[in-house]
Amino acid sequence: MPDIGEFETFMRNHQNMVFSTAVRLLGNEPDAADISQEVFLRAHEHFDDLRASPSAGGWLRTVARNLSLNHLQRYRARWRFFSELGSEDDDRDFASNVPAPDAGGQPMDEEQERAVLEAALRKLPSSQRVPLVLYHFDELSYEEIARQLGVSLSKVKTDIHRGRAALRRKLRLSEEGELSTGVSAPGVAGPDLLRTGAVQLI
């Protein structure tokens, strides 16, 4: 039986990363909290192996990603397909190069820019958001994403291209105050699963 105090520390060290991984894919905080709960329930079962493992964070991220994708595939009949494939730069620094709006004419700091980007990302349909997140945040290749989602390579490229274009449009809307950013920033202020009692260790 894992030591409860040690596991609570483990959870607090990793819960924002786990929540961040889930909410970027799901675009929904309650569902992401549920996935995070399941991730740590599984981590509790394997804690003897994870407690001293340098790859524990990677294990948690992979479990969170797989559970999130399973959730999407379970509750959505199919991915939306796009017919057109446009040329697009494959630069992985796309997210950092997207022009972010300023607030009232004042430059936004890094945290504000992140919040705007995250909010815009969540407003994309899952068919665009998921491959975009897997590519830019999880740094999977096109081929890996195609295998993970069970779709063609051309569809992955199409969805990422369309997702980038849609994200740019949504960020332009934020300049007019049409994009709400009143959500917690993933990786910064995810729910405290211990405080809320979402994960019961006893």
Domain with CATH 1.10.10.10 in the chain: 94-174
pLDDT of residue 181: 39
Which amino acid, residue 50?
Answer: L
pLDDT of residue 82: 31
pTM of this structure: 0.61
Domain with CATH 1.10.1740.10 in the chain: 4-75
More confident residue, 189 or 19: 19
Please provide the DSSP assignment of 147-188 as one string: HHHT--HHHHHHHHHHHHHHHHHHHHHHTTT-S---SPPTTT
Choosing among 3.40.309.10, 1.10.1740.10, 3.40.50.720, 1.20.1290.10, the CATH entry for 4-75 is 1.10.1740.10
Instruction: Provide the CATH number for the domain formed by 94-174 in this structure.
Output: 1.10.10.10
Q: Which residues contact 83 (CB under 8 A, 6 or more apart)?
A: 158
Average the pLDDT over 125-145 and give the result. Answer: 89
What six digits make up the tokens of 18? 């786990």
More confident residue, 159 or 177: 159
pLDDT at 196 over 80: no
Average the pLDDT over 122-130 and give the result. Answer: 88
What percent of the chain lies above the pLDDT cut of 70?
65
The string of pLDDT tens digits covering residues 63-100 is 999 999 988 876 553 334 332 323 344 445 454 444 44
3-class SS of residue 9: helix
